[in-house]
Amino acid sequence: MTQLDNAHLTDLGPDVATPSYDRQAVTAGIVHIGVGGFHRAHQAMYLDELMNRGEALDWGIVGVGVMPGDRRMQEILAAQDHLYTLVVKHPDGRREARVIGAMLDYLFAPADPEAVIETMADPAIRIVSLTVTEGGYNFHPISGEFDLDNPDVQHDLVPGAAPRTSFGLVIEALRRRRERGLTPFTVMSCDNIQGNGDVARRMFTAFAHARDAELGAWVEAEVPFPNSMVDRITPVTTPEDIAELGSRFGVEDAWPVVCEPFSQWVLEDHFVAGRPALERVGVQLVEDVVPYELMKLRLLNAGHQALAYFGYLAGYRYAHEASADPLFEAFLLDYMTHEATPTLSPLPGVDLDAYRRTLIRRFANPEVRDTLARLCAESSDRIPKWMVPLIRQQLESGGDVHRCAAVVASWARYDEGVDEKGEPITVVDRLKDELMAIAARNHEHPTAFIENQELFGDLAENARFREAYLQALESLHRRGARATLEALVAA
């Protein structure tokens, strides 16, 4: 096998695409916080495509890890000269391997926050982008307000403290740029949150105001936070993926990325210091992202939740297994058609029926092997943002909520921590202990889960939603996931 690094790029086989540009000529223009699989399969891939066209060579990426666990990523990427392999998995078993060279460096913030701050303060950096997951924005799930009581935030608000959070790092870098008379950078969220740029604006400006009112006002007035909609299924890289890359393509890469063929990025064209010409590689630059993001959040993201808990309880472990089951396919299409689609704004030129069926095909791609456990993880950050607003909108308009209520019930049943065969379920959620304690009371107090106002507000008080939820939860306990879906589809 050939070790992946600059010195051995030309030794890779002809079936592995490599950067056609001189990486020595690339300079940094973007700092990206939260370098996970999705960023490497999406934003970095688009920039690499531009660079392969001989463009955007001044838009190289400097990655930043803020979490303690990011040390491993920093070490692996440094050993590979920040190169990695992107493997596209086609449904028919074909693989496309491509080395991405758009990342120039990776900084581990806990070890050297000053280096991160000074990098962002460099005038060459014109965009700071983010994929920090929903929980990384530190907002209350119901009120949407910035959590100033977070201990790390409190630490970062102490004058002279070495920042621990993305908020402390970014705002200090902006403060220095302002002090030095430099143009600010654009803060570009690439997370799966409705109005991700608006959320980022509220959270970062709230931190800035808490630190210094004048600084907060400057950030609010001068720093753009464009909204975006991003889409590409990128499952966690497994040891099998690493081994297959070696055996099939001869590449020794300690942390490649695997993904589906489909990719989409819709981006609000609002930048303060320029941007790469992303429209030349298929990115949609628009004035209003909202209709597109609602389509994706409520059909794809919430659709994943509609599949995940029922699928896991029914004995499936992979998304493609459940999606290929005609019963699950029918339920997903019913949810998308009758409850999600009525909440969407008009999208001229978009065939929603075709989009829905494309999603089913994407979910059913057997080569991606996206786990249901991944889709079930961190649900307290997902359901309140992706499905609860949809439920409220349907309730207000008189629309159906039976399927949405059943999805919430399946989450409550999943968080009981044991499947229908009596096997333990490993619940992964920042609120795991609290949610599992509540779910343990599902039999004696069936509405306990939805009475959690931190996640559901007053939904438990709505008779239509409560009745549909209780009916689904009772069916899950008495008859199981499959019979519950059969009744929902038949209805």
Residue 82: per-residue pLDDT: 98
Q: What average pLDDT does range 152-169 have in this prediction?
A: 97
Q: Give all strands of the β-sheet with 60-65 in edge-to-edge order.
A: 103-108, 60-65, 28-33, 127-130, 186-189
Dist CA 374 CA 325 (whole Å): 19
Give the model confidence (pLDDT) of 54-95 as tens digits: 999 999 999 999 999 999 999 999 999 999 999 999 999 999
Three-state DSSP state, 8: helix
Q: What average pLDDT does range 121-136 have in this prediction?
A: 96
Dist CA 323 CA 308 (whole Å): 10
Neighbouring C-beta atoms of residue 346, cutoff 10 Å: 7
Give the model confidence (pLDDT) of 187-233 as tens digits: 999 998 889 999 999 999 999 999 999 999 999 999 999 999 999 99
* Nearest Cα to Cα of residue 486 among 359, 326, 364: 326
Half-sphere CA count of 137, side-chain side, radius 13 A: 30
Residues 6+ apart with CB under 8 A from 255: 73, 76, 77, 84, 237, 242
Residue 225: per-residue pLDDT: 98
> Does residue 349 surpass a pLDDT of 90?
no
Q: What domains sit in the chain, N to C, each tagged with a CATH number?
A: 2-286 (3.40.50.720), 290-490 (1.10.1040.10)
Q: How confident is the model at residue 409 (pLDDT cuts 50, 70, 90)?
A: very high
Spatial contact of 187 and 130, defined as CB atoms under 8 Å apart: yes
Residue 347: per-residue pLDDT: 81
> Please, which residues bridge with residue 32 across strands?
63, 129
Residue 135: per-residue pLDDT: 87
Spatial contact of 377 and 319, defined as CB atoms under 8 Å apart: no
Reading the block at residue 181, the tokens are: 């008379």
Residue 142: per-residue pLDDT: 66
Dist CA 246 CA 154 (whole Å): 46
- What angle do the packed helices 166-179 and 113-121 form, to 10 degrees? 40
Dist CA 294 CA 271 (whole Å): 22
